[in-house]
């Protein structure tokens, strides 16, 4: 387990052990406490007879619809049994108990993490996953490599002052590409900002990425946004928006509209561990469950929200445990395992569409790069922690081992791919840099559907000013 | 989506539970969801119990709705309407009484409407829903209970009013009074009183705060040469300030007197009935201001 994961969970274990094993030290001079810590009874597991062919085990959680089926009878140790000691309450019958049992703040064990490939890129024995064809597998691999190279080169371009800002997805290439591969083009994507790989998968070209970063006249955003705020109507990828987690309720609304139109598609929205603290996270998950909206909530738990580690972000066991609080099915997956991410999103999508329900997917991963070009993460986290995840836990090399192990990829393929992507990128940057910026008219369009009279007036005044003082106006921006 | 005042009565039966939704209580949540649905091509109408609670959703109104068309260069349009009661009611205190016209009219990308009469409400709401841009529709709780005469034309199902056009509610030649929402009624009462004293006041019902019908306002001031701006909201950076500036920019030489501004008191709305009465403009305040602009008032002591 990764150093930072081990630290957090061992802290929990130590604290729990202290409380459970030495109560006398805490309550030396008090009467024995009238309550005890109640361990949540294990939920019976049943293999679903329906979809997936036994690919996943469905944790049988009751849906409290208020029907008359009795709640699970209290066990003997509580001293009560039988139907007459129940409360008929909206949502279903509730059994009474004579002792105060506080649900513990955390389970004894953390929620398990689904993985398919081990660290050496071999499928774990007994693992169940969605098979991929050789063609799909290779496309996934080459897009992961492309994303990695794109990030490296654009980051360097920012450092050279050629673009004003950039942020990388280093360490999260499997999340980006594998989740995108499991979706259909009709599924609506509402990203946060660390998911350009989804756009890459869908066919956004390196030139189109470069145009947006340079804000030139070919940018679909007409130079209105900072770099990495990509968007494409054609590819069903909503323009990146800076405020954190606002895309979550948007995704529920988009999903609801898909449901109303009876489309065979879902919405998916991505967010980080930090995003789960926003009010919008709570509102969106609750709403999605109540409205039964077909949306996948994909949490990239990468350990850091700029400089805030997860230990200071929440006290719950990550994001996955929160799903049940909203009545939502959830799963935790190894975010650096491309096949695990692919399988989980594939099944989540099926559930969301056929059952009309939201699903929460938490992918455990690590943000290898700095938060953005405005950040130096060595100031708040140890360099060896970054190095460990960058090398030993790299999702690309792990997946590469699996692909090569199948005889589908060779070292020469690798160098050929990396060279050609690099060349294409450098070319795209050169072209984008030389492209003129958007013309002056575009300053005033799109505020409203039609340009209002006050903006026409302002444009006229601006053009007059430029005519009078041409030397004060940049020569390379078209009027 | 939540209403204790029964404006949406009957809509559930008419349109069904897929289109008329009761939601969990989170303004940020249901506004965000509605914006997401608008991104996808639906035309949602979001109801705030009062616009005071829209503060909990203001990020979605401004950053997710108002700016999206511009920031996405036309790829994401947001044909959404935010409606609900705005401004003071009666005895509901500070957190239920603020007027948000100036707040929302400040933002490029939003349209802001304020109906006064039943005809305004029907015609403007229809236009708001049909408009491809996000519209903030500021109603008034006390006006819900008031009756207005309407023509058969208004009752026709295709009736709508254009956005950005004010209405001259009463023609006059001595002074222009601009107002919106409940204050239009007060201005009309003041105009009646003024007419008995020989001052003919022209009352403009703005109807649209953004875009403001600058042409109508300036044409009226060029005719009357005097202006009183009237609003219920707080004075600083209010709607009246913008109207005054528009007149200074376009019709300065036509003014025969300084522009008078009538607004609510610059305090959070008090609850006690006597204090509340003093915190909002009353008809006699309007009459006095009109007289000052006509140089017919006793000289006032300079205020600090």
* Domain end marker among A70, A95, A120: A95
pLDDT at residue B183 tops 90 = yes
- Paired tokens of A440: 């002056």
Residue A32 lies in domain: 3-95
| Residue A172 is a catalytic residue | no
pLDDT at residue A20 tops 90 = no
- Paired tokens of A403: 């692909």
Choose among A456, A458, A462: nearest CA to A477.
Answer: A462
In a domain, A113, yes or no: no
> Would you place residue A2 in the very low, low, confident or very high pLDDT band (cuts 50, 70, 90)?
very low
| Beta pairing class for A308-309 and A304-305 | antiparallel
Nearest by CB to residue A253, choosing from B36, B133, B164, is B36
User: What is the mean predicted confidence (pLDDT) over B251-275?
Assistant: 95
pLDDT at residue A7 tops 50 = no
Is residue A11 domain-shared with residue A69, that is, in the same domain?
A: yes
* Least confident stretch, A16-25, A244-253, B135-144, B220-229: A16-25
| Beta pairing class for A57-59 and A45-47 | antiparallel
Cβ distance of B37 and A253 shorter than 8 Å: yes
Is residue A141 domain-shared with residue A177, that is, in the same domain?
A: yes
Is residue A461 domain-shared with residue A326, that is, in the same domain?
A: no
In a domain, A420, yes or no: yes
Q: Locate all alpha helices (DSSP H) within A277-365, ordered by sequence.
A: 279-291, 320-325, 338-355
Residues B200 and B196: their CA atoms lie apart, in Å, by 9
Is residue A428 domain-shared with residue A323, that is, in the same domain?
A: yes
pLDDT at residue A56 tops 90 = no
Q: According to the model, what pLDDT value does residue A11 have?
A: 53
Residues from chain B that touch A220, judged by Cβ atoms under 8 A, are 73, 75
Q: Are B175 and B227 in contact (CB under 8 A)?
A: yes
* Complex-level ipTM: 0.80
User: Residue A390 is inside which H or E element, if any?
Assistant: helix A383-391
Residue A112 CB contacts under 8 Å (≥ 6 apart), including other chains: A332
Q: According to the model, what pLDDT value does residue A474 have?
A: 83
Is residue A419 domain-shared with residue A459, that is, in the same domain?
A: no
User: What pLDDT digit, counting tens, does each position of A374-420 carry?
Assistant: 999 999 999 999 999 999 999 999 999 999 999 999 999 999 999 99
> Would you place residue B303 in the very low, low, confident or very high pLDDT band (cuts 50, 70, 90)?
low
Q: Are A403 and A138 in contact (CB under 8 A)?
A: yes
Q: Are B112 and B83 in contact (CB under 8 A)?
A: no
- Paired tokens of A155: 């980051």
Q: According to the model, what pLDDT value does residue A478 have?
A: 81
> Would you place residue B2 in the very low, low, confident or very high pLDDT band (cuts 50, 70, 90)?
very low
Tell me how long chain A is. 479
Residues A285 and B44: their CA atoms lie apart, in Å, by 20
Which residues 9-68 of B are in CB contact (within 8 Å) with A? Answer: 18, 21, 23-24, 26, 28-42, 44, 59-60, 63-64, 68
Domain count of chain A?
3
Residues from chain A that touch B63, judged by Cβ atoms under 8 A, are 241-243, 246
Phi, psi of A102 (to 5 degrees): -85, 130
Residues from chain B that touch A454, judged by Cβ atoms under 8 A, are 211, 214
* Domain end marker among A66, A95, A124: A95
User: What pLDDT digit, counting tens, does each position of A448-459 carry?
Assistant: 999 999 999 999
User: What is the mean predicted confidence (pLDDT) over A196-218?
Assistant: 96
Cβ distance of A287 and B24 shorter than 8 Å: yes
Which residues 282-301 of B are in CB contact (within 8 Å) with A? Answer: none
CATH number at residue A188: 3.40.50.970
Is residue A377 domain-shared with residue A452, that is, in the same domain?
A: no
In a domain, A318, yes or no: yes
Is residue A363 domain-shared with residue A464, that is, in the same domain?
A: no
> Would you place residue A3 in the very low, low, confident or very high pLDDT band (cuts 50, 70, 90)?
very low
pLDDT at residue A26 tops 50 = no
SS3 for B300?
coil
Q: What is the 3-state secondary structure (H, E, C) of A121-153?
A: CCECCCCCCCCCCHHHHHHHHHHHHHHHHHHHH
| Total Cβ atoms within 10 A of residue A137 | 21
Sheet with B111-113: list strands edge to edge: B45-47, B81-85, B135-139, B111-113, B208-210
| Residue A156 is a catalytic residue | yes
In a domain, A105, yes or no: no
In a domain, A33, yes or no: yes
Is residue A382 domain-shared with residue A404, that is, in the same domain?
A: yes
In a domain, A190, yes or no: yes
pLDDT at residue A85 tops 90 = no
Is residue A445 domain-shared with residue A403, that is, in the same domain?
A: no
Q: According to the model, what pLDDT value does residue A14 have?
A: 55
pLDDT at residue B304 tops 70 = no
Measured CA to CA in angstroms, residue A256 lies from A47, A239, A314, B17 at distances of 29, 19, 29, 13
Cβ distance of B28 and A239 shorter than 8 Å: no
User: What is the mean predicted confidence (pLDDT) over A351-356?
Assistant: 97
Q: Between these two residues, A81 and A141, which has the higher pLDDT value?
A: A141
User: What pLDDT digit, counting tens, does each position of A300-345 carry?
Assistant: 999 999 999 999 999 999 999 999 999 999 999 999 999 999 999 9
Residues B288 and A402: their CA atoms lie apart, in Å, by 85
User: What pairs with residue A360 in β-bridges?
Assistant: A297, A330
Dihedral sign for Cα A47, A50, A54, A55, please.
negative
Is residue A279 domain-shared with residue A413, that is, in the same domain?
A: yes
User: What is the mean predicted confidence (pLDDT) over A270-282?
Assistant: 96
- Paired tokens of B113: 């409407």
Is residue A59 domain-shared with residue A180, that is, in the same domain?
A: no
User: What pLDDT digit, counting tens, does each position of B8-66 carry?
Assistant: 889 999 999 889 988 888 899 999 999 999 998 899 999 999 999 999 999 999 999 99
User: Which one of the listed residues A105, A156, A264, A457 is annotated catalytic?
Assistant: A156
* Least confident stretch, A46-60, B175-189, B268-282: A46-60
Q: According to the model, what pLDDT value does residue A473 have?
A: 87
* Least confident stretch, A265-269, B107-111, B269-273: B269-273
Residues from chain A that touch B68, judged by Cβ atoms under 8 A, are 239, 241
| Total Cβ atoms within 10 A of residue B171 | 12
Mean pLDDT of all residues belonging to chain A? 86
Residues from chain A that touch B211, judged by Cβ atoms under 8 A, are 452-454
| Residue A84 is a catalytic residue | no
> Would you place residue B161 in the very low, low, confident or very high pLDDT band (cuts 50, 70, 90)?
very high
Is residue A76 domain-shared with residue A219, that is, in the same domain?
A: no
Mean pLDDT of all residues belonging to chain B? 93
* Domain end marker among A74, A95, A116: A95
Q: Between these two residues, A30 and A189, which has the higher pLDDT value?
A: A189
pLDDT at residue B107 tops 90 = yes
In a domain, A121, yes or no: no
Residue whose pair of structure tokens reads 């649905």 in the numeric block: B37
Residues A118 and A97: their CA atoms lie apart, in Å, by 45
In a domain, A119, yes or no: no
pLDDT at residue A67 tops 80 = no
| Closest chain A C-alpha to B252 CA, distance in angstroms | 18
């Amino acid at each position: 387990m990764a150093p930072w994961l081990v630290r957090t969970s061992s802290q929990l274990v130590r604290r729990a052990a202290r409380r459970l094993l030495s109560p006398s030290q805490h309550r030396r001079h008090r009467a024995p406490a009238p309550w005890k810590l109640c361990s949540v009874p294990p939920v019976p597991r049943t293999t679903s007879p329906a979809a997936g062919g036994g690919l996943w085990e469905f944790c049988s959680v009751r849906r409290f619809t208020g029907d008359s089926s009795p709640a699970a009878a209290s066990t003997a140790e509580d001293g009560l049994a039988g139907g007459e000691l129940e409360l008929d309450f909206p949502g279903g019958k509730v059994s009474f108990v004579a002792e105060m049992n506080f649900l513990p703040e955390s389970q004894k064990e953390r929620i398990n993490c689904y993985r398919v490939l081990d660290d050496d890129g071999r499928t774990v024995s007994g693992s169940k996953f969605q098979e991929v064809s050789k063609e799909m597998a290779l496309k996934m691999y080459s897009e992961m490599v492309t994303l990695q190279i794109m990030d490296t080169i654009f980051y360097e371009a920012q450092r050279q002052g050629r673009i004003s800002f950039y942020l990388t997805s280093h360490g999260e290439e499997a999340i980006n590409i594998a989740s995108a591969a499991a979706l259909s083009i009709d599924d609506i994507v509402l990203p946060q900002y660390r998911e350009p790989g989804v756009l890459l998968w869908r066919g956004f070209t390196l030139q189109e990425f470069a145009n947006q970063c340079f804000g030139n006249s070919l940018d679909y955003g007409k130079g209105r946004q900072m770099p990495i705020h990509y968007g494409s109507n054609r590819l069903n990828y909503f323009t990146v928006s800076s405020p954190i987690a606002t895309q979550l309720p948007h995704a529920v609304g988009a999903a609801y509209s898909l449901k109303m139109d009876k489309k065979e598609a879902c919405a998916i929205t991505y967010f980080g561990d930090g995003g789960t603290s926003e009010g919008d996270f709570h509102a969106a998950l609750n709403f999605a469950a109540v409205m039964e909206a077909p949306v996948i909530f994909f949490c990239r738990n990468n350990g850091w929200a700029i400089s805030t580690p997860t230990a200071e972000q929440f006290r719950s066991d990550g994001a996955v445990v929160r799903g049940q609080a909203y009545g939502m099915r959830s799963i935790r997956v190894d975010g650096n395992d491309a096949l695990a991410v692919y399988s989980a999103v594939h099944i989540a999508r099926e559930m969301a569409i056929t059952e009309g329900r939201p699903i929460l997917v938490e992918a455990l991963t690590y943000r290898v790069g700095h938060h953005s070009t405005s950040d130096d993460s060595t100031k708040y986290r140890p360099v060896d922690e970054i190095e460990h995840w960058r090398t030993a836990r790299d999702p690309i090399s792990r997946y590469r081992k699996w692909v090569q192990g199948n005889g589908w990829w060779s070292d020469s393929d690798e160098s050929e791919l990396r060279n050609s992507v690099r060349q294409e990128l450098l070319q795209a940057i050169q072209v984008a840099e030389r492209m003129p910026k958007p013309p002056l008219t575009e300053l005033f369009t799109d505020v409203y559907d039609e340009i209002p009279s006050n903006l026409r007036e302002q444009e006229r005044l601006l053009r007059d000013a430029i005519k009078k003082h041409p030397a004060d106006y940049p020569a390379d921006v078209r009027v | 989506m939540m209403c204790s005042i029964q404006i949406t009565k009957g809509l559930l039966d008419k349109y069904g539970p897929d289109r008329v939704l009761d939601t969990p209580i989170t303004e940020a949540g249901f506004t965000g969801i509605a914006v997401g649905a608008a991104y996808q091509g639906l035309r949602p109408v979001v109801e705030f119990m009062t616009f005071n609670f829209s503060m909990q959703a203001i990020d979605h109104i401004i950053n997710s709705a108002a700016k999206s068309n511009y920031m996405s260069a036309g790829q994401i349009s947001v044909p959404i309407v935010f409606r609900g009661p705005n401004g003071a009611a009666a005895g509901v205190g500070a957190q239920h009484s603020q007027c948000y016209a100036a707040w929302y009219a400040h933002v490029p990308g939003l349209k802001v409407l304020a109906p006064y009469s039943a005809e305004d409400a029907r015609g403007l709401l229809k236009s708001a829903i049909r408009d491809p841009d996000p519209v903030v529709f500021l109603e008034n709780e006390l006006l819900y209970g008031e009756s207005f005469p309407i023509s058969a034309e208004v009752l026709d199902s295709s009736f709508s009013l254009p956005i950005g056009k004010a209405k001259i509610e009463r023609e006059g030649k001595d002074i222009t009074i601009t107002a919106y929402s409940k204050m239009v009624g007060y201005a009309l009462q003041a105009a009646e009183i003024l007419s008995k004293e020989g001052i003919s006041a022209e009352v403009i019902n703005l109807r649209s705060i953004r875009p403001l019908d600058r042409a109508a306002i300036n044409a009226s001031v060029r005719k009357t040469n005097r202006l009183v701006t009237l609003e219920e909201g707080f004075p600083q950076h209010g709607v009246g300030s913008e109207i005054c500036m528009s007149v200074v920019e376009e019709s300065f030489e036509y003014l025969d007197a300084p522009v008078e501004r009538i607004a609510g008191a610059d305090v959070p709305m008090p609850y006690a009935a006597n204090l509340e009465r003093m915190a909002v403009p009353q008809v006699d305040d309007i009459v006095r201001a009109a007289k000052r602009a006509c140089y017919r008032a006793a000289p006032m002591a300079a205020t600090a």
